[in-house]
Amino acid sequence: MTEHSTVTLETATAVPLPDAQTVTEVEHYTDSLFRFRVTRPASMRFRSGEFVMIGLMGDPHPETGKQKHLLRAYSIASPAWDDTLQFYSIKVDNGPLTSRLQHIKVGDQVILKPKSVGTLVHDALTPANRIWFFSTGTGIAPFASLLREPETYERFDQVILTHTCRDVADLKFGKELIAETKTDILVGEEAQQKLHYYPTTTRETSKKMGRITSLLEDGSLLVDLGVTDFNATNDRAMVCGSIGLNTDIKRILENYGLREGANSDPGDYVIEKAFVG
198's enclosing H/E stretch is strand 195-201
Cα angle 219, 175, 3 (rounded to 5 degrees) comes to 85
User: 101, 125, 245, 258: which one contacts ligand A2P (CB under 6 A)?
Assistant: 245
164's enclosing H/E stretch is strand 158-165
Residue 213 CB, shortest distance to ligand A2P, in Å, is 4
At residue 59, what are phi and psi to the nearest 5 degrees? Answer: -75, 145
According to the binding rule CB under 6 A, does residue 152 interact with ligand A2P? no
Rounded to whole angstroms, what are the CA distances from 95 to 55, 74, 89, 165, 221?
Answer: 12, 15, 12, 20, 35
For 232, counting Cβ atoms within 10 Å of its Cβ (0-12 exposed, 13-18 middle, 19+ buried), the class is middle
According to the binding rule CB under 6 A, does residue 202 interact with ligand A2P? yes
Cβ proximity to ligand A2P: between 219 and 244 the closer is 244
Cβ proximity to ligand A2P: between 115 and 251 the closer is 251
According to the binding rule CB under 6 A, does residue 203 interact with ligand A2P? yes
Query: How many residues line the site for ligand A2P (CB under 6 A)?
Result: 15
Cβ proximity to ligand A2P: between 116 and 213 the closer is 213
Q: Which window, 14-22, 93-101, 164-172, 257-265, contacts ligand A2P (CB under 6 A)?
A: 164-172
According to the binding rule CB under 6 A, does residue 109 interact with ligand A2P? no
According to the binding rule CB under 6 A, does residue 116 interact with ligand A2P? no
Which candidate, 164, 189, 177, places its Cα nearest to that of 240?
164
